[in-house]
């Protein structure tokens, strides 16, 4: 697989112009990261670690102070690449209400396509396909404000899917949802990834990150861990020292291991935990 996203020695700072003299705060401090086409990468880090800033750099909302970000071989610093990059990389934010602009579901999904100048017949086709993909086709004539949080977020994702991006960045898309809504959104995300869409998921929910191909941990604007979920979450004490959790089943295995039980701490799913406990008790 080829790299779809290539980040090299990325530095980015915010400047507070309200202060006199202006105060510069460096948020990203030399990020190096490659994401392959079709990969599902989860990004973890406590508040203020630089996760959302990194996502905005990938989508060319933020431009590098130094270093470089390449999306499908295109340098984000080049203004001519802005539209092609945004067409290839869609972004879903934490609050779906901030992304929904129309009073009818199907009109909202069509909004970006209309602005892109897509022909009406093609818009109709793409909107229907996108809504069916996220399981919201039967709600196409509903008012978005009457939908549940999970349904709204799936409509927001449908609006991105309709643009047919190669990659979707999701910045804590389930943070404002109940467990059912979170499950709905994650099911959609995994299904899109199975169809070849590159996924970058920023999340605070470790059970969501455990479903990714890779987990990247950011702290203080630097990548400090990058590995498969089992290897990341088995380092329970390291994660806790960073102010992060691990999946509940991983923590259970860790506590059992500390108590002297012969059990691996590389357990990240409930089914795996049940199987290991059964073997242990048998």
Mean pLDDT, rounded, for 4-25:
89
Window from 16-20, 131-135, 249-253 with minimum mean pLDDT: 16-20
Q: CA 197 to CA 165: how far, in whole Å?
A: 8
At 127, the pLDDT band (50, 70, 90 cuts) reads very high
pLDDT of residue 280: 82
Q: What is the pTM of this model?
A: 0.90
pLDDT at 1 over 60: no
pLDDT of residue 265: 87
Per-residue pLDDT tens for 150-176? 899 899 999 998 988 999 999 988 888
157 burial class (0-12, 13-18, 19+ CB within 10 angstroms)? buried
Q: Residue 20 has what DSSP assignment?
A: S
Q: CA 201 to CA 186: how far, in whole Å?
A: 10
Q: Tell me the pLDDT of the chain averaged across its residues.
A: 91
Q: Which two tokens stand for residue 168?
A: 């979707």
Per-residue pLDDT tens for 31-83? 999 999 999 999 999 988 999 999 999 999 999 999 999 999 999 999 999 98
pLDDT at 18 over 90: no
Q: Residue 96 has what DSSP assignment?
A: G
Q: 194 vs 22, which has greater pLDDT?
A: 194
User: CATH topology for 3-246?
Assistant: Rossmann fold (3.40.50)
Query: Which of the given ranges, 21-30, 64-73, 142-151, 254-263, has the highest pLDDT on average?
Result: 64-73
Q: CA 48 to CA 243: how far, in whole Å?
A: 12
pLDDT of residue 141: 95
pLDDT of residue 24: 87
Per-residue pLDDT tens for 182-211? 888 899 899 999 999 999 999 999 999 999
Of 159, 169, 173, nearest to 58 by C-alpha is 169
pLDDT of residue 277: 87
Per-residue pLDDT tens for 207-234? 999 999 999 999 999 999 999 999 999 9
């Amino acid at each position: 697989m080829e790299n779809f996203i290539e980040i090299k020695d990325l530095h980015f700072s915010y400047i507070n112009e309200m202060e006199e003299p202006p105060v510069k705060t460096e948020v990203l401090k030399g990020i190096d990261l490659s994401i392959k086409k079709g990969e599902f990468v989860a990004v973890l880090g406590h508040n203020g670690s630089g996760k959302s800033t990194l996502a905005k750099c990938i989508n060319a909302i933020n431009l590098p102070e130094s270093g470089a970000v390449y999306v499908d071989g295109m340098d984000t610093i080049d203004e001519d690449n802005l539209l092609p990059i945004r067409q290839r990389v869609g972004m879903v934010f934490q609050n779906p209400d901030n992304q929904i602009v129309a009073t009818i579901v199907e009109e909202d999904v069509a909004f970006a396509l209309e602005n892109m100048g897509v022909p009406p017949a093609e818009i109709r086709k793409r909107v229907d396909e996108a809504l069916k993909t996220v399981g919201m086709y039967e709600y196409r004539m509903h008012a978005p404000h009457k939908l549940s949080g999970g349904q709204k977020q799936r409509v927001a994702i449908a609006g991105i899917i309709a643009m047919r991006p190669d990659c979707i960045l999701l910045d804590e898309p389930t943070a404002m949802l109940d467990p059912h809504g979170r499950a709905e959104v994650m099911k959609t995300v995994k299904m899109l990834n199975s169809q070849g869409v590159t996924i970058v998921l920023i999340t605070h929910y470790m059970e969501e990150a455990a479903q990714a191909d890779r987990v990247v941990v950011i702290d203080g604007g630097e990548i400090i861990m990058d590995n498969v979920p089992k290897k990341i979450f088995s380092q329970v004490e390291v994660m806790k020292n960073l102010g992060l959790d691990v999946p509940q089943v991983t923590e259970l295995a860790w506590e059992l291991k500390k108590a002297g039980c012969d059990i691996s701490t590389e357990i990240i799913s409930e089914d795996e935990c049940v199987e290991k406990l059964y073997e242990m008790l048998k």
